[in-house]
Amino acid sequence: MTPAPDIFHRIRAGDMAAFEELVRHYQPYAYSLAVRLLCNEAEAEDAVQETFVRVWRNIGRYDPSIQFSTWLYRIVTNLCLDQLRARRRRNWISFPKENEDGQAIEMRADVDLDELVSTENLVSIIYSLSGGLPETQRLIFVLRDLQDLSIQEVCNVTGLSEGSVKTNLHYARRKIREHLMQDYDVKGAS
Amino acid sequence: MKCRDAKRLMDLSRPGELTVIELDALDRHCASCPACAAERTRARQSESLLARLRAFKPEPRNGDILTASILARVREQRQKTHNRSTAEWFDRIASWLEIPLLRYASALFITVTLLSFVTQLLAIMHSITDLEARLARGPRPQARFAYAINMESVMQMKEAKELDRLLPSRIVVDADKKVIVSSETLAALQEFITSRSAATEESLRAKATIDSLVHRLEKEGAVSLQLISEGETR
């Protein structure tokens, strides 16, 4: 159920119950974006925690004329990008293309994805698909193709123009398609 | 349409990404270009896989625990915020100053306040200098509301038994040698002097002084008299 319109007013007044209601409603959205961007569940949970702490701290600055989810995604995105950059600086490498049992994940077009995909596998699959993309392309790919935001929402979250979003999306999808053809046997499917 | 343009468009195949005109042009190109048609099929397969990934919504291992952690951290922050209210005010002021209009208004306010402060400081310093100069010149004149009574005339009046009855109990001399006179005493003095049959020059002067005191008393509610010691002139 969508929170009542006066929820932000109540949170500004220090109402913790209202804030809890907001967290419970938006936490799944924030988590799914964070885990898709970071491809790491523990780091995603940390990012979600930090996101809502920032929401609480900055709720006075929130402009109700923009959608709350857009504002929330912006915070999640910024935190995740910072985390990814820090990870890159540390040369942090993870996500082998393996599942929990150490078996290689095989994503063939004729495989039942519903059976294949668990959260653990999903992060590996997404990482294997988008891990090699430049930061902006990866962000736009996750927001549009995995998080299912509209082009306009992607523009609002990233601050990029529609043309720029579409161009980046085109390059990201082409690379992912090439990757699917090479590694996941999409080529053979009809 | 060239193949290069067609490949760009076929990567934007989800609803809302292409205009009707672009979609029509792509359809017509693929109908006449087998290579692009095959590429488009692969793009659709790829999108189909992504759609299935999209449908899967990852969830935290324990959403309730995550929510509880978030709320605990916020409560902790809230406590810290209470403890750091001053710091928070500075942050708020800093955030307000991000608004250009408020920034300029604050700068103007601070400038005006500083100028006012400096002006008042200069005025105070000038007053102090002036006061020092006046003190260096000698004793200051008596205060505005101090009235003088020549004690010689009082002493002469004290010779009269009636005044002797009035004065000791009703006139107080304070540490600054001011004579504090109650309204009853003044009235009694006035009545006494008026009733004297042989009015001397001294008693008439005392009466004039007391009359003015009574007048002042009516306006001010209280008066103080300066005690003039013997030998001093008024």
The pLDDT assigned to A52 comes to 94
The pLDDT assigned to B84 comes to 67
The pLDDT assigned to A2 comes to 72
Cross-chain CB nearest to A23 (options B16, B58, B67): B67
Whether the Cβ atoms of residue B202 and residue B159 lie closer than 8 Å to each other: no
Tens-digit pLDDT profile for residues A71-116:
999 999 999 999 888 887 766 544 444 444 444 444 444 445 445 5
Q: Strands B146-150 and B223-228: what pairing?
A: parallel
CA distance linking residue B39 with residue B187, whole number of Å? 120
Judged by a CB distance cut-off of 8 A, whether residue A126 touches chain B is yes
Whether the Cβ atoms of residue B186 and residue B217 lie closer than 8 Å to each other: yes
Is the predicted pLDDT of residue A63 greater than 60, yes or no?
yes
Q: Which residues contact A41 (CB under 8 A, 6 or more apart)?
A: A35, A119, A120, A123, B58, B60, B61
Tens-digit pLDDT profile for residues A15-44:
899 999 999 999 999 999 998 888 888 899
Chains A, B: CB contacts within 8 A come to: 121
Judged by a CB distance cut-off of 8 A, whether residue B50 touches chain A is yes
- Interface pTM (ipTM) of the complex? 0.76
Binned average pLDDT, 10 residues per bin, chain B of 234 residues: 87 87 91 91 83 82 89 86 71 79 87 95 91 72 39 50 50 51 64 58 65 66 48 38
Angle between helix axes A41-58 and A16-38 (nearest 10 degrees) is 140
CA distance linking residue A37 with residue A81, whole number of Å? 8
Whether the Cβ atoms of residue B26 and residue B6 lie closer than 8 Å to each other: yes
The pLDDT assigned to B91 comes to 77
Judged by a CB distance cut-off of 8 A, whether residue A148 touches chain B is yes
Contacts of A145 in chain B (CB under 8 A): 14, 50, 54
What Å distances lie between residue B205 and A40, A113, A136, B84, B210, CA to CA?
106, 121, 103, 72, 9
Is the predicted pLDDT of residue A139 greater than 60, yes or no?
yes
pTM over 0.90: no
Contacts of A123 in chain B (CB under 8 A): 58
Judged by a CB distance cut-off of 8 A, whether residue B216 touches chain A is no
Cross-chain CB nearest to B67 (options A24, A166, A169): A24
Cross-chain CB nearest to B42 (options A32, A119, A187): A187
- Mark yes or no for CB contact B63/A122 under 8 Å: no
Sign of the C-alpha dihedral computed for residues A108, A109, A115 and A120 taken in this order? positive
CA distance linking residue B149 with residue B153, whole number of Å? 8
Whether the Cβ atoms of residue B223 and residue B147 lie closer than 8 Å to each other: yes
- Mark yes or no for CB contact A177/B43 under 8 Å: yes
Cross-chain CB nearest to B17 (options A52, A117, A166): A166
